[in-house]
């Protein structure tokens, strides 16, 4: 791996004495160990306090050391994956310069099978993370946990609440699916939701999560990139919520979502954005972020590596016939984790680049509904995207 140190500031983090067993004794500081030493199959934490394209406080960087100290004082589980702290990305002369730096860093890490976790900064940084996948030459799935839909006007510049259109319209386009999780209906224009529907993208209200929490696991299992807007957490739990939202995810549910994300073999990057704790709520909010990150890494260490690619001889195969439907619906169940996937028939005329999207994560309930003669909506939406 090439030296990424040119993109990072030297930290003035004050010395903290950690207890035996705490993460402070395990996390590897790349400024000391060297960026070339980063091992594959590891996790890399990147701090990016870039807020210039948002309404957040652009000068708010004092939280960085406090957050790291909070996280470092946690005790790990039975973890085996190395964790590296890459430090703080230097702010560019312009926001575009910061985008380029983040893009280059994420590209290099993902190429070498290192999982990047981007902490801090506003959500427009998603565009830089997305661009990092361009050299991988594969279509990807992006999921955003957000109370609103940050679609924006394609004729205007990128901003923290208007970045999705830049990804959708980016050329070359390698976005296969976009999913919005946890939106609140009164914060979203119905015309924008209609546009998502026309593109066969997915949107799930906050209430749908609390009606059926199981739906989030296969959704995250199908994602390559996860973007988590801290403002999706209600103000009572994330007190620096810049949107001042009384409704949203509870803190423990944010941790649950990130644990599911960690378990996803397909997911290759995570961004925790719009994190800018104010002085009044400083300790509570940095501790919440620390615990969310802890749950993600806990899930990552529990990955089963059972995504059904290549030979499927180790999976149980179920065939379901539905009345007045030509094709069988084929399901696969993992012997390792008891998780389910459904197979979507492949239109040959599309070439080979979409092969990785033919097996779609699902729940046991999708199989049960197929037995009741119901064509899974997930199957139909995926098929329409393929053709």
pLDDT, tens only, 273-285: 999 888 777 899 9
Instruction: Give residue 123's pLDDT.
Output: 96
Instruction: Give residue 313's pLDDT.
Output: 78
Classify strands 315-320 and 359-362 as parallel, antiparallel or unpaired. unpaired
pLDDT, tens only, 120-150: 899 999 999 999 999 887 889 999 999 999 9
Instruction: Give residue 144's pLDDT.
Output: 98
The answer to whether 122 and 160 have CB atoms below 8 angstroms apart is: yes
Q: Rounding to the nearest 10 degrees, give the CA dihedral for residues 112, 114, 117, 122.
A: 0
- On the 0-12 / 13-18 / 19+ scale of CB atoms within 10 A, 48 is buried
pLDDT of 349 > 60? The answer is no
Residue 226 tokens, joined:
């996860």
Instruction: Give residue 171's pLDDT.
Output: 92
pLDDT of 386 > 90? The answer is no
Longest Cα–Cα distance in the chain: 69
Domains of the chain: 5-301 (3.40.800.10), 315-386 (no CATH)
Strand spans (E) along the chain: 8-9, 28-29, 42-47, 83-89, 114-119, 140-145, 175-183, 202-205, 225-229, 269-273, 315-320, 329-334, 340-343, 359-362
Band of residue 354 on the pLDDT scale cut at 50, 70, 90: low
Instruction: Give residue 81's pLDDT.
Output: 98
Mean pLDDT of the chain: 92
Radius of gyration of the chain, Cα coordinates, nearest whole angstrom: 21
pLDDT, tens only, 207-217: 999 999 989 99
pLDDT, tens only, 11-21: 555 567 899 99
Query: How remote is the C-alpha of 332 from its chain's centroid?
Result: 25
Strand spans (E) along 290-372: 315-320, 329-334, 340-343, 359-362
pLDDT, tens only, 221-254: 999 999 999 999 999 999 999 999 999 999 999 9
Q: Rounding to the nearest 10 degrees, give the CA dihedral for residues 287, 289, 292, 297.
A: -100
pLDDT of 196 > 60? The answer is yes
pLDDT, tens only, 31-58: 888 898 899 999 999 999 999 999 988 7
The secondary structure of 256-283, three-state, reads HHHHHHHHCCCCCEEEEECECCCCCCHH
pLDDT, tens only, 63-119: 999 999 999 999 999 999 999 999 999 889 999 999 999 999 999 999 999 999 999
Residue 378 tokens, joined:
């997930």
């Amino acid at each position: 791996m090439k030296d990424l140190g040119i993109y990072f500031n030297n930290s003035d983090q004050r010395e903290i004495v950690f207890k035996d067993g705490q993460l402070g004794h395990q996390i590897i500081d790349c400024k000391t160990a060297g960026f070339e030493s980063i091992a594959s199959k590891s996790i890399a934490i990147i701090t990016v306090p870039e807020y210039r394209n948002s309404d957040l406080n652009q000068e708010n960087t004092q939280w960085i050391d406090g957050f790291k100290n909070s996280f470092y004082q946690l005790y790990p589980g039975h973890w085996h994956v190395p964790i590296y702290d890459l430090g703080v990305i230097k702010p560019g002369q312009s926001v575009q310069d910061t985008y380029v730096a983040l893009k280059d860093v994420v590209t290099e890490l993902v190429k070498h099978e290192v999982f990047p976790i981007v902490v801090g900064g506003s959500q427009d940084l998603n565009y830089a993370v997305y661009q990092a996948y361009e050299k991988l030459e594969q279509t990807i799935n992006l999921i955003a946990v957000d109370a609103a839909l940050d679609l924006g006007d394609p004729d205007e510049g990128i901003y923290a609440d208007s970045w999705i259109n830049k990804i959708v319209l980016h050329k070359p386009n390698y976005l296969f699916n976009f999913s919005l999780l946890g939106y609140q209906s009164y914060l979203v224009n119905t015309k924008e939701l209609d546009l998502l529907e026309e593109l066969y993208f997915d949107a799930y209200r906050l209430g749908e999560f609390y009606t059926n929490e199981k739906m989030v696991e296969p959704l995250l299992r199908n994602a390559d990139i996860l973007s988590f807007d801290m403002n999706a957490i209600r103000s009572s739990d994330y007190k620096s919520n810049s949107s001042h939202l009384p409704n949203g995810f509870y803190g423990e549910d944010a941790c649950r979502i990130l644990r599911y994300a960690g378990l996803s073999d397909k997911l290759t990057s995570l961004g925790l954005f719009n994190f800018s704790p104010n002085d009044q709520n400083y300790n509570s909010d940095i501790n919440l972020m620390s615990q969310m990150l802890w749950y993600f890494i806990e899930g990552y260490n529990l990955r089963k590596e059972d995504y059904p690619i290549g030979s499927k001889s180790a999976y149980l195969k179920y065939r379901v016939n539905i009345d007045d439907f030509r094709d069988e619906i084929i399901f696969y169940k993992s012997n390792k984790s008891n998780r389910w996937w459904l197979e979507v028939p492949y239109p040959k005329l599309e070439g080979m680049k979409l092969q990785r999207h033919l097996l779609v994560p699902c729940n046991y309930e999708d199989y049960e509904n197929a037995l009741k003669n119901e064509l899974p909506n997930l199957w139909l939406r995926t098929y329409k995207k393929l053709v």
